[in-house]
Amino acid sequence: MVRIASIQSTPEPGSPTVQARAQSLTMEGMMLHRPIAAVCAALLVCAGFAQAPAKKGQPNVKKQSYGKMPDGTPVDLYLLTNANGMEAHLAAYGGTLVSLTAPDRHGAFADVVLGMDTLDGCRAQTAYFGALIGRYGNRIGGGQFTLEGKTYHLPINDGPNTLHGGPLGFGKQLWQAREVASAEGPAVEFSYLSKDGEEGFPGTLTTKVVYTLTNKNELKIDYTAVSDKPTVVNLTNHAYFNLKGAGEGDILGHEVTINASRFTPVDSVLIPIGELRAVKGTPFDFTAATAIGARIETDDQQIKFGKGYDHNWVLDKTGAGLTKAAEVYEPKTGRVLEVWTTEPALQFYTGNFLDGTIHGKGGKVYPRRGAFCMETQHYPDSPNHPAFPTTELKPGATYHTTTVYSFSAK
């Protein structure tokens, strides 16, 4: 937020001044020069950048620099501004949502997603802040699955399992990016071609993801993919939300409703055991609005396995189209997030593995449970559970899903 605001006040985004400032805010830089960075951040906050009132006007898209890959390839950062002054920064690296502002009940905007000021910082963190996740979001048990009689072995990156497409999944790849026209609001399309065999998955997969910041204060994400061989696909976005503002403490007071009467209980390494268990009478019942912190320390085996919430809820779908999956209300600011999706499930993760060691945008500390994720998706480990909705994609078919994160205040 702070560096981004500083770019807006600078005429030439690629200028040496901006690059030098950006470099001084890398994660490693933060560790080594924390006092200097803190002073810089404080100065920028004093200059009024951090909470600058948003200006209403023409929706638009601006291209800036997020940094360079180690081989010198420049990485673009797109700034989308909608008619109400809401802003989203999206980086071509990982198709990452770097920042997203939303108004509180008084109309004051704050950046409500965790992220990193620079590409170097983004590449160094391992939490998948705001990244596009593929080819298979969530876990594949034992890093293997069998498709049409052939067993595929994937690289392991989470205990015995493959998480979020493997160590070099889509969130760690450089995507092609371009502005696209949309009547709904400013939009950017990211595309990525994943080669046959990449991270162990069969088939060349061509993926396109369009982010639209609609003039109704929604971030809409449209995912499409086609493959030249049978494969498995489960795409999602890994935004970490804190409706008080990124780096403004924990999310335990946020009140959550999830439109799901069942969830998929897991084993100790977070692989579904195959059962669809009723949430009724468990700490997983969010059918009525409940504070995240109300039951997160319950003496419950499932809570213990996740070190909090890190589970897949089976949505009570009312049809095949876009249906409401969840709503989150933050009482202090009045901000409301609604999640709508065409997907059958939602991974609700409460940032249990954040530990305060990451200093994010503006040098802010991201503590344990300093954010929550609502990853719309198919169930984890579906390729190994024939009874779960299939994640298989055949040649000639098109994978298409939509998720909308809608913001308001009350």
Catalytic residues: 238, 375
Structure tokens at 381: 């480990």
Q: What would the x/- binding string for ligand BGC be over residues 283 to 322, using CB under 6 A?
A: ---------------------------x------------
Assess 125 for contact with ligand BGC (CB under 6 A).
no
- Residue placing its CB nearer to ligand BGC in the complex, 65 or 138: 138
Distances (CA, A) of 257 to 35, 260, 338: 40, 9, 9
Region of 179 please: left (phi>0), alpha (psi -120 to 50) or beta. Answer: beta
Alpha-carbon distance of 84 to 103, in angstroms, equals 10
Alpha-carbon distance of 223 to 211, in angstroms, equals 9
Q: Can you say how many angstroms the Cα of residue 219 is from the centroid of all Cα atoms in its chain?
A: 12
Alpha-carbon distance of 54 to 110, in angstroms, equals 10
Segment 138-167, which members bind ligand BGC (CB under 6 A)? Answer: 138
Of 62, 285, 353, 408, the one binding ligand BGC (CB under 6 A) is: 353
Least gap, CB of 389 to ligand BGC (angstroms): 18
- Residue that is written with structure tokens 């600078």 in the block: 10
Least gap, CB of 236 to ligand BGC (angstroms): 8
Structure tokens at 71: 């081989």
Segment 57-86, which members bind ligand BGC (CB under 6 A)? Answer: none
- Residue placing its CB nearer to ligand BGC in the complex, 152 or 305: 305
With CB under 6 A as the contact rule, which of the stretches 3-11, 39-47, 180-188, 345-353 interacts with ligand BGC?
345-353
CB–CB of 382/388 below 8 Å?
A: yes
The length of the chain in residues reads 410
Segment 369-398, which members bind ligand BGC (CB under 6 A)? Answer: 375
Number of residues that bind ligand BGC (CB under 6 A): 9
Using alpha carbons only, give the angle 88, 91, 97 rounded to the nearest 5 degrees.
45
Distances (CA, A) of 305 to 158, 164, 355, 385: 14, 19, 17, 20
Assess 347 for contact with ligand BGC (CB under 6 A).
yes
Alpha-carbon distance of 228 to 408, in angstroms, equals 41
Alpha-carbon distance of 128 to 165, in angstroms, equals 12
Q: Of all helices (H) and strands (E), which one includes residue 17?
A: helix 16-24
With CB under 6 A as the contact rule, which of the stretches 203-211, 256-264, 347-355, 395-403 interacts with ligand BGC?
347-355
Strand partners, 212: 187, 220
Of 211, 349, 379, 407, the one binding ligand BGC (CB under 6 A) is: 349
Least gap, CB of 403 to ligand BGC (angstroms): 14
Amino acid at 35: P
- Residue placing its CB nearer to ligand BGC in the complex, 310 or 381: 310
Least gap, CB of 85 to ligand BGC (angstroms): 31
Least gap, CB of 375 to ligand BGC (angstroms): 5
Q: What would the x/- binding string for ligand BGC be over residues 185 to 224, using CB under 6 A?
A: ----------------------------------------
Alpha-carbon distance of 215 to 183, in angstroms, equals 9
Least gap, CB of 302 to ligand BGC (angstroms): 13
**22 three-class SS:** helix
With CB under 6 A as the contact rule, which of the stretches 67-75, 194-202, 250-258, 346-354 interacts with ligand BGC?
346-354
Task: Residue 311: name the closest of 352, 278, 266 by CA.
Answer: 266
Assess 348 for contact with ligand BGC (CB under 6 A).
no
Least gap, CB of 353 to ligand BGC (angstroms): 4
Pairing of strands 150-153, 144-147: antiparallel
Of 77, 127, 131, 314, the one binding ligand BGC (CB under 6 A) is: 127
- Residue placing its CB nearer to ligand BGC in the complex, 6 or 236: 236
Task: Residue 201: name the closest of 155, 242, 161, 244 by CA.
Answer: 155
- Residue placing its CB nearer to ligand BGC in the complex, 138 or 162: 138
Least gap, CB of 9 to ligand BGC (angstroms): 33
Assess 128 for contact with ligand BGC (CB under 6 A).
yes
Amino acid at 353: F
- Residue placing its CB nearer to ligand BGC in the complex, 104 or 310: 310
Site residues (vs ligand BGC, CB under 6 A): 127-128, 138, 270, 310, 347, 349, 353, 375
